[in-house]
């Protein structure tokens, strides 16, 4: 059923309300009907009691002790409040009846051992009838007293009530439908505002937000959730724009350098040594650009979930020793001392290849920003059920604001693209992504001119 939310609410409301209203109307009709019949039954019982006082059973014969009872006015008239009485034997044969019955007779129902009330017709008019047995002293049924009273007044009341209820029912339902539709429209009007505002938001105005409703209800929660979603989308779009701009800059710079160098070389002939130096320089720029592209592709694969972590038991000391041995030449080139504190064996849950990339990037970063003659320490220990691997350098250090940004893509502490310190600002972004895939926490503390400490924290294994 293709209905608007407002109409659906009104429709379901009217269906439920219609059922409940119908039950209430049926209950009213039933109560009034039962009351009317009970009142008639009481009158029939009273009349039957009077009749039974005048009927005596002697030797299984009926003797009417009060014959004047049959000549009372109400038993002789037909037009106003008549009472019809009939005495029948056990087979239904009429023994005596009141004069107002004339040539008619009351309906007889066989085999009714106790008082029996029912509705029937007499000369085409509705009546309420009572049939009660007449028994001898031993309980044998000898005959029946049958009494009837007209039902016109009660039938008229019930007919009028039925007519009123049938007319009122659709009117009530229609009134309820429009009132519920109005209430539903008023209730969901904040949703209309949310829809209209959300429809206006595009990538050009992602900073706009939907106004929160005054009442903290489900619509307030919906609006807050949408605003939070817009915040995340805006952050993602801004990061994507920044990423595209930074990547373009990082790739454009070496290309411009290579192009300028080659243009200079072709202007006039030069000696072989000059050509070799410039070609080596261009090769270095190509290597730098190739490394940047590899890191971009690696980061994209991990962010798209194409490389899933293969978690298993890993010997932390062995991974650290492998990474340090691989980078030993860099320590020697910059004359930086390495201090180990890996006396105890530590096992962690991690992906070996991802863990090597994490430590390699952190240690490489420490080497870049540590002056010659300084020291880098690597330590592992247990604390509160978790395994800590702490890499501390004596490098340039950072401010508190800088330390919160070092895991952002293309962020460089020196803020200079032409810095003498190599790198492209992607290494620690990759570290952050790989750590997140393995539930590894990262903590950074740093002070200017004193150095930086990076703690890699593994959860309890």
pLDDT at 443: 92
Q: What is the DSSP string of 327-360?
A: THHHHHHTT-EEEEE--S--EEEE-HHHHHHHHH
If asked whether residues 283 and 154 sit together in one domain, one would say: no
437: domain CATH number?
A: 3.30.565.10
pLDDT by residue (tens digit) across 434-449?
A: 888 888 999 999 988 8
Written as six digits, the tokens of 379 are: 């330590």
pLDDT by residue (tens digit) across 84-142?
A: 888 888 888 888 888 888 888 899 988 788 889 998 988 888 889 999 998 887 888 88
129: domain CATH number?
A: 3.30.450
If asked whether residues 247 and 319 sit together in one domain, one would say: no
If asked whether residues 318 and 290 sit together in one domain, one would say: no
Angle, helices 427-437/352-368, rounded to nearest 10 degrees: 150
Residue 330 lies in domain: 312-458
Is 63 a member of any domain? yes
Is 168 a member of any domain? no
In angstroms, what is the C-alpha Rg of the chain?
51
Q: Is the pTM of this model over 0.75?
A: no
Is 181 a member of any domain? no
pLDDT at 416: 42
Instruction: Look at residue 423 and tell me whether its pLDDT is greater than 80.
Output: no
In contact, 351 and 415? CB cutoff 8 Å: no
Q: Give the chain's domain count.
A: 3
If asked whether residues 285 and 335 sit together in one domain, one would say: no
Is 196 a member of any domain? no
Is 124 a member of any domain? yes
If asked whether residues 299 and 317 sit together in one domain, one would say: no
pLDDT at 441: 92
The domain boundary, picked from 259, 280, 303, lies at: 303
Is 209 a member of any domain? no
The domain boundary, picked from 109, 125, 159, lies at: 159
In contact, 86 and 134? CB cutoff 8 Å: no
Chain centroid offset of residue 117 CA: 58
Nearby residues of 214 by Cβ (< 8 Å), 6 or more positions away: none
247: domain CATH number?
A: 1.10.287.130
If asked whether residues 410 and 433 sit together in one domain, one would say: yes
Is 188 a member of any domain? no
If asked whether residues 73 and 128 sit together in one domain, one would say: yes
If asked whether residues 130 and 12 sit together in one domain, one would say: yes
User: What are phi and psi for residue 198, nearest 5 degrees?
Assistant: -65, -35
DSSP letter for 17, please: H
Q: Give which of 124, 120, 128, 129 is closest to 88, Cα–Cα.
A: 129
Q: What is the mean pLDDT of the chain?
A: 81
pLDDT by residue (tens digit) across 339-379?
A: 888 778 889 998 888 888 889 889 988 998 899 889 999 99
Reported for 201-206, long-range contacts at CB under 8 A and 24+ positions apart, including other chains, are: 201/230, 203/237, 206/230, 206/233, 206/234, 206/237
If asked whether residues 244 and 271 sit together in one domain, one would say: yes
pLDDT at 375: 92
CA distance 151 to 131: 16
Segment 187-198 shows an average pLDDT of 77
Q: Helix, strand, coil shares of the chain as percentages rounded to 5? A: 50, 20, 30
Nearby residues of 39 by Cβ (< 8 Å), 6 or more positions away: 154
CA distance 430 to 423: 13
If asked whether residues 9 and 154 sit together in one domain, one would say: yes
If asked whether residues 361 and 231 sit together in one domain, one would say: no
pLDDT by residue (tens digit) across 212-263?
A: 877 777 778 888 888 888 888 887 777 777 667 666 766 776 788 788 888 8
Is 114 a member of any domain? yes
SS3 label, residue 116: strand
If asked whether residues 322 and 260 sit together in one domain, one would say: no
The domain boundary, picked from 108, 126, 159, lies at: 159
Q: Give which of 413, 422, 408 is closest to 253, Cα–Cα.
A: 422
């Amino acid at each position: 059923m293709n209905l608007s939310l407002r109409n659906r609410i009104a429709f379901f409301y009217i269906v439920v309300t219609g059922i409940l209203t119908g039950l209430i109307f049926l209950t009213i009709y039933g109560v009034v009907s039962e009351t009317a019949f009970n009142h008639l039954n009481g009158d029939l019982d009273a009349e039957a009691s009077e009749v039974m006082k005048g009927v005596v059973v002697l030797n299984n014969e009926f003797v009417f002790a009060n014959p004047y009872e049959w000549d009372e006015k109400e038993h002789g008239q037909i037009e106003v409040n008549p009472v019809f009485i009939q005495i029948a034997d056990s087979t239904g044969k009429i023994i005596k009846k009141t004069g107002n019955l004339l040539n008619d007779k009351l309906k007889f129902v066989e085999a009714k051992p106790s008082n029996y009330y029912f509705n029937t017709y007499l000369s085409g008019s509705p009546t309420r009838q009572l049939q009660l047995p007449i028994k001898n002293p031993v309980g044998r049924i000898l005959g029946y007293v049958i009494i009837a009273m007209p039902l016109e007044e009660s039938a008229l009341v019930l007919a009028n009530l039925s007519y009123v209820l049938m007319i009122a029912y659709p009117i009530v339902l229609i009134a309820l439908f429009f009132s519920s539709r109005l209430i539903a429209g008023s209730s969901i009007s904040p949703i209309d505002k949310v829809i209209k505002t959300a429809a206006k938001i595009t990538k050009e105005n992602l900073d706009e937000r939907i106004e929160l409703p005054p009442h903290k209800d489900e619509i307030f929660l919906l609006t807050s959730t949408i605003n939070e979603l817009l915040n995340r989308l805006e952050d993602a779009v801004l990061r994507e724009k920044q990423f595209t701009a930074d990547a373009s800059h990082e790739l454009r710079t070496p290309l411009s350098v290579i192009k300028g160098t080659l243009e200079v070389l072709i202007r006039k002939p030069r000696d072989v040594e000059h050509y070799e130096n410039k070609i080596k320089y261009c090769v270095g720029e190509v290597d730098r650009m190739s490394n940047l592209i590899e890191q971009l592709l690696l980061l994209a694969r991990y962010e798209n979930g194409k490389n899933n972590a293969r978690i298993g038991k890993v010997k932390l000391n062995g991974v650290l020793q492998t990474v340090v041995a691989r980078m030993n030449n860099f320590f020697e080139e910059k004359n930086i001392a390495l201090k180990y504190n890996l006396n105890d064996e530590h096992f962690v849950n991690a992906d070996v290849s991802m863990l090597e990339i994490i430590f390699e990037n952190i240690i490489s970063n420490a080497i870049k920003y540590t002056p010659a003659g300084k020291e880098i320490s690597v330590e592992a220990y247990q604390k509160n059920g978790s395994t800590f691997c702490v890499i501390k350098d004596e490098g340039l250090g950072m401010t508190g604001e800088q330390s919160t940004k070092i895991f952002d893509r293309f962020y460089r502490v020196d803020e200079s693209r032409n810095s003498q310190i190599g790198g492209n600002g992607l290494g620690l972004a990759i570290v952050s992504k790989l750590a997140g895939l393995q539930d590894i926490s990262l903590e950074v503390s740093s002070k200017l001119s004193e150095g930086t400490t990076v703690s890699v924290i593994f959860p309890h294994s």
